[in-house]
């Protein structure tokens, strides 16, 4: 499966961006999906996850209430709506996939089987 993230850019603090992840090679419905991010000089961290059915979603405490993950299985797409962006949200954002039936989220950690190329998000103060 191939994952291609897009939608990043430069935005002022308080603004919004919508990231998209295009899934190809296999149906997105076969996967739980997640978003991870990595800021300069820091380790990659969990941002959000959604179950293969879409019935369960999870968020890092730092983005809860501001970010929203969704999936459109008909379009083979996953989205991350990011509102009220802060300078500390600046990072490269990665789309991730985990095969259905596998553990994909536990203890604020996302277990990825596949990781796509990232998209840069820069939030200016």
Q: What mean pLDDT is reported for the chain?
A: 97
**Chain Cα centroid distance, residue 91:** 12
pLDDT digits (tens, 9 = 90+) for 74-106: 999 999 999 999 999 999 999 999 999 999 999
Cα-based distances in Å from 35 to 3, 67, 125: 11, 11, 23
What's the pLDDT at 107? 87
What does the pLDDT average to over 47-53?
A: 96
Q: Hey, is 87 helix, strand or coil?
A: helix
d(CA 31, CA 1): 10
Sequential DSSP letters for 46-73: EEEEE-TTSS-EEE-TTTTTTEEEEEET
Which residues, 6+ apart, have CB-to-CB distance to 115 below 8 Å? Answer: 3, 36, 94, 95, 96
């Amino acid at each position: 499966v191939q994952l291609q993230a897009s939608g990043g850019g430069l935005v002022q603090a308080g603004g919004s961006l919508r990231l998209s992840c295009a899934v190809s090679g296999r149906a997105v419905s076969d996967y739980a999906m997640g978003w991870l991010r990595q800021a300069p000089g820091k380790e990659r961290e969990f941002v959000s996850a959604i179950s293969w059915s879409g019935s369960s979603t999870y968020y890092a405490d730092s983005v809860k209430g501001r970010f929203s993950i969704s999936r459109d299985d008909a379009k083979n797409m996953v989205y991350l709506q990011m509102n009220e962006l802060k300078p500390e949200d600046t990072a490269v954002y990665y789309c991730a996939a985990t095969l259905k039936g596998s553990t994909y989220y536990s203890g604020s950690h996302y277990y990825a089987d596949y990781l796509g190329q990232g998209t840069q998000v820069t939030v200016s103060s």
